[in-house]
Amino acid sequence: MLPLIGAYSVICPDLLISEHTDPHPKKKVKFTMMRAALGIWIFSAVICVGRSHHHIGHDSANQDTALDSSANSLSLVTSANKEFAYRLYRKLAAHADSGGKNIFYSPASVTAALAALSVGARGETHKQLFSGLGFNNTLLTQTDVNQVFQVLLERENKTSSEGTAVFVDNKFKPQPEFLGALKQYYYADGFSVDFTKTTDSANTINKYVEEKTNGKIDKLVENLDPNTVMYLISYIYYKGKWATPFDPKLTKEDTFNVDANTKVPVQMMNMEKNVEIYNDQGINTSVLHLPFNSTYSMLLLLPDDMATLERNIGAGYITKWLKWTKSKKYNIYIPRFSIKASFTLNDVLTEMGMTDMFGDRADLSGISETQNLVVSEVVHQATLDVDEVGATAAAATGIGITLMSFQHIPVLKFNRPFMVVITERSTENVLFMGKIINPNI
């Protein structure tokens, strides 16, 4: 299963003196399924919110109209989510170090986390969040967006475990409407903690995260500010087992070409079978489609020029690749690896138009009318493990090419930088995407 963790931390020195009890019972999780999971993606987004320096009748026709409106909202939000995935990737790629930094993240979890935050945003801050996410302010209300994410989470929970949790200080009283919306639409568990006891609070949050991610994230929180009043976490856990696994006996040590001057050793998996391939001549990229034994797939993209692929990749390409891949006999090689990537998204989200929430102009009065709150940090962490049985965690996967083997069977070898997209085949919702520059870091 695929674990993603998104967290919001709300900080405010002047706490309200009112007891807050646990509003949401903890959901049951099938840990036996988690332990048996062969593929895990992990995402962590931390949004720290602190105090700002300044104040800031139904007949059938109506039912049909409501259904049409709901379907239209679903279409608008899912389309925006897809485009957001690629806009965010290009921002992350632009901020990545030129020294060869792997990129891997979960756009699905980032959008869910920011959509949940928008529940508590008002005024210009809310407009910027909607605009940055690609939601049309004139066509979509907050309720529309909430209802769509409820549908998406319900759909994803058929094959994965997804939801949120909110940890509230026992002396801070958020708006009941905010907590109610998180519970109803974003499947939030609720817990009351004493954030002045920083070590105990951090341990409580970390234990919850560790359980939800089957141990893949065991220390999301290390240093809690004693003035924290709220911590919001989102998670996803998904099983990723190859429909056609690799034979471990065929895995051999090989070389991965990071760049012209750098080579690193890898354990290279091998399979000589009919696989789904598409050669996109328009952007000189070879695409390998590896389905999991579910509705999800991994697309491995090996470009002649990475910059060209990064500049062009978008939802239309995913649609084309899934539709036009053809089954052909290939001798494919994919490195077995484990990587970890982490980002601070403040600058990236600011460049995407979400500026006010980070400064004195922040309006998060939907969380609390009596406290001036501001987002101080958004952090994203992701890991990906790829082995013979499946994919575990979050990262990018690539493709290396050799044209012919001795038996005249084409060879597709992932022995140089490549991209990976993990998507749901029918909706083309992007769970993860990224770029593997060096599989050893």
pLDDT score at 345: 85
Low-confidence ranges of the chain (pLDDT < 50): 1-2, 4-5, 11-46, 48, 53-58, 60-64, 392-408
Give the residue extent of every domain in the chain. Answer: 5-240+339-383, 248-335+396-436
pTM, two decimal places? 0.81
pLDDT score at 124: 96
Distances (CA, A) of 335 to 38, 110, 265, 269, 399: 17, 27, 10, 6, 9
Q: Which CATH number fits domain 248-335+396-436: 1.50.10.10, 1.10.40.30, 1.10.8.60, 2.30.39.10?
A: 2.30.39.10
pLDDT score at 99: 54
Sign of CA dihedral 403, 405, 406, 409: negative
Distances (CA, A) of 429 to 2, 78, 433: 14, 7, 11
Q: Name the CATH superfamily housing domain 5-240+339-383.
A: Antithrombin, subunit I, domain 2 (3.30.497.10)
What does the pLDDT look like over 105-153, one tens digit per residue?
A: 888 888 888 998 899 999 999 999 999 999 988 899 999 999 999 999 8
